[in-house]
Amino acid sequence: MITDIPTQRPATPLLDQIDSPSDLKGLNLGQLQQLAGELRLYLLFCVGQTGGHLGGGLGVVELTLALHYLLETPEDHLVWDVGHQAYPHKILTGRRDEMLNIRQREGLTPFPDQAESVYDSFGTGHSSTSISAILGMAIADQLQGINRKAVAVIGDGALTAGQAFEALNHAAHTDANLLVILNDNDMSISPNQGGLATYLEKNLREQALTNPVMPLFEALNFDYSGPIDGNDLDLLIPALETSLSKEGPQFLHVRTRKGFGFKPAEEDPVGYHAITKLEKPVVNSRPNIKYSDQFGQWVCDTAALDSRLVAVTPAMKEGSGLVPFANEFPDRFFDVAIAEQHAATFAAGLATGGMKPVLAIYSTFLQRALDQVIHDIALQNLDCLIAIDRAGLVGEDGPTHSGIFDIPMLRTLPEVIIMTPSTLDEQQQMLSLGYQYSGCAAVRYPRGEGVKNETPLAPFAIGQSRLIRIGKRAVMLNFGPLLPAAKQVSDQLDLGLIDMRFVKPLDEKALIELVNTYSSFITLEDGTLAGGAGSAVNEWLLKKGHTIACLNLGIPDRWIEHATRDEQLLDAGLDAHSIQKQIEHFLKA
């Protein structure tokens, strides 16, 4: 049992000889077991150097080895759901030495990526897509007369999502040759919630570990086998061989332990789901507060005053700052597992029943619940506050997790208000405004730390902006947390500066005054330009018949790859220097 993360590259003589899965074919069982130990130790070293997802990968070391030992990848299809557990897969498929630059600019992506390697059959950053994808691949092979294996590895957390069951249901009506492996470790990021988790655990308690009856998967027309110990190669390899030899939809249930082999991760699988680099950052004597923590404090304070407040999250309790609320108000906290669509409609039902739901969700995952927000919340004008965390560029997790599309998604919905705080104080007031609003309101805020206002923030109403600076020629209209850069540039170029605060409704009174004062507008946001806040300003100008020149600054129409958030902003042209250069060019034109 490993107790510490290595700070120096460990000796891995057998792993050093593995440059592709074909190098595994000649190994015997004893060598595979030795390789598992070396792979686990090397994984710990790499993640200690770079930060990243750890617990899931530690748990599937043996499963990864067994799959690549038996399959003929990359010819055979192998899809890892979500990708949190794909680091061992990357190491074994020719990317061993590159692991030390994973999640860094121009380094390996944090998730499987078709463009990165032929061994990555499908890109997976969001959960619960693997069965749909592998079924499509299997049927495509069938239609073309190609004989290949098709395997999807999905966790019990990801299996709680509706899409996974939609795919299982469809697969039941095909004769496609595919194998779905359930990697069951009782966890998503935090312990699993819901009836499926209870069902799986009940079967393990009450049935023998050899070929128990699993009516759920049998009813879906899958040939079920398991559960088996997924960390035991002696059991795993023959079980996989049997499943891979059969035709039609197969289902193999393996039990793994998240963080297996590393004592701290086994004891704290939530804390070791992902880690930061071992090197500690310089401690600030006056640390800033995270937006998520501020939200967590606000929701507790508001719940203490209003018994109607209920908090809903789709498996994001820790990241959304809801742990204190869950502890203080357990009867009013609902973690619905990885089920974003259900979370939105469930919130709509709570509102219909007389409660005041607060839906805490990351921007990138709100994408999955758009129809439910439109049809079930907004169309019915139900009271629901959507607290959108991780809005904007999020850094090392890359484009699968960037939260840059929420403004265009929500801006077209009638009577929905959208707020973009630039400081923690604004976030606090906006959450309260959104909670009190009769209808659907969204507050979008970034990942990480925020800043306080330099002077006490006066109360403001819905749709009310704030004048920060009067300048010459042009005025900057800032939406959200890029305000510090906007202040720096406006000082350098003597520009007017407005903290708009609201994408919808826009402060039309302020806009009218600005049109009569300035000859040029510059909008600034940390979301996609297409359909974003700048587009809202352009539409208003056109509607009112104003021909004023306008420069829109935001995320350009391309994917911003993984890097630190500051590097991503530089890539997008949204650092202070790039913003200034673009404005200077615009004003000279």
- Give per-residue pLDDT as tens, 521-555: 999 999 999 999 999 999 999 999 999 999 999 99
291 or 275: which leads in pLDDT: 291
CATH assignment of the domain containing 414 = 3.40.50.970
Structural domain span for residue 205? 71-256
Residue 6 has pLDDT above 90, yes or no: no
Q: Are residue 232 and residue 348 in the same domain, yes or no?
A: no
Q: Quote the CA–CA distance of 160 and 407 in Å, as a whole number.
A: 28
Asked if residue 365 lies in contact with residue 161, where contact means CB atoms within 8 angstroms, the answer is no
Q: What is the mean pLDDT of residues 300-321?
A: 96
Residue 409 resides in a domain: yes
Residue 463 has pLDDT above 70, yes or no: yes
Residue 399 resides in a domain: yes
Query: pLDDT tens across 82-110, in order?
Result: 888 999 999 999 999 999 999 999 999 99
User: What's the helix, strand, coil split of the chain in %, to 5?
Assistant: 40, 20, 40
Active centre residues (catalytic): 258, 340, 368
Q: Are residue 410 and residue 475 in the same domain, yes or no?
A: no
CATH assignment of the domain containing 515 = 3.40.50.920
Q: Quote the CA–CA distance of 243 and 234 in Å, as a whole number.
A: 15
Residue 116 resides in a domain: yes
Residue 284 has pLDDT above 60, yes or no: no
Query: pLDDT tens across 335-381, in order?
Result: 999 999 999 999 999 999 999 999 999 999 999 999 999 999 999 99
Q: Are residue 430 and residue 520 in the same domain, yes or no?
A: no
Q: Are residue 235 and residue 295 in the same domain, yes or no?
A: no
258: exposed, middle or buried (Cβ count in 10 Å: 0-12, 13-18, 19+) = buried
Q: Are residue 187 and residue 304 in the same domain, yes or no?
A: no
Q: Are residue 484 and residue 579 in the same domain, yes or no?
A: yes
pLDDT of residue 203: 60
pLDDT of residue 285: 47
Query: pLDDT tens across 107-138, in order?
Result: 999 999 999 999 999 999 899 999 999 999 99
Q: Cis link prior to 238 (omega < 30° from 0)?
A: no
pLDDT of residue 213: 44
Query: pLDDT tens across 162-197, in order?
Result: 899 999 999 988 989 999 999 998 765 666 666 666
User: Domains in the chain: how many in total?
Assistant: 3
Residue of 522, 574, 577, 579 lying closest to 551 (CA atoms) = 522
Residue 32 resides in a domain: no
Q: Are residue 79 and residue 126 in the same domain, yes or no?
A: yes
Q: Are residue 220 and residue 312 in the same domain, yes or no?
A: no
